[in-house]
Amino acid sequence: MTDIRQRLDTLIAKNDILPIKTHEGIVVGSVKIVSRDTLKDLWQYNSVVYAGISLNKVAIKLANMLARQHRKSIGTDKLYTADQEYGRLLFESLLLRERLHRARQNGEHDKADMYLARYTLAKDRATYAKKQVLALTGT
């Protein structure tokens, strides 16, 4: 119970709007977060503001920023762009991991070595991008 109280106190101290789960999605003030498989879309005033957000924390932070400001800003665009870059790098690393496994299964060792190097680099870049995005959200 104290953990929940600490989280609530932190949210209140940061002046964030508490998310409310509904049958249509998650509502944060005037913003609705709608899940689409692993991605999230932000709707405000019956139109999509940001589509294809990868990280849940980014979706909540953007929804809070939009609910307080009632419009996009340089800060929201910067956070959204960073999340999109993370999503692109994550997809690239997952694609290379799949190619690595396929090359190993087919016994193509030279290709597997190449894909392993590319996968490792892509995974590291995605991890770094995620850290940058989370730093922008303040978590």
pLDDT digits (tens, 9 = 90+) for 15-53: 677 788 888 888 888 899 999 888 999 998 889 999 999
- The larger pLDDT score, comparing residue 10 to residue 137, is at 137
Hey, is 30 helix, strand or coil? coil
Lowest-pLDDT range, 2-11, 49-58, 97-106, 130-139?
Answer: 2-11
72-107 per-position pLDDT tens digit: 888 889 999 999 999 999 999 999 999 999 999 999
pLDDT number for residue 138: 83
Calculated CA dihedral for residues 50, 91, 35, 45, nearest 10 degrees: 10
* Structural domain total, the chain: 1
pLDDT number for residue 46: 86
- The larger pLDDT score, comparing residue 10 to residue 132, is at 132
Q: Residue 119: which domain range?
A: 2-137
Q: Between 74-105 and 56-69, two packed helices, what is the crossing angle to 10 degrees?
A: 160
pLDDT number for residue 28: 87
- The beta strands (E) that lie in the chain are given as 20-21, 26-28, 31-36, 39-44, 47-53
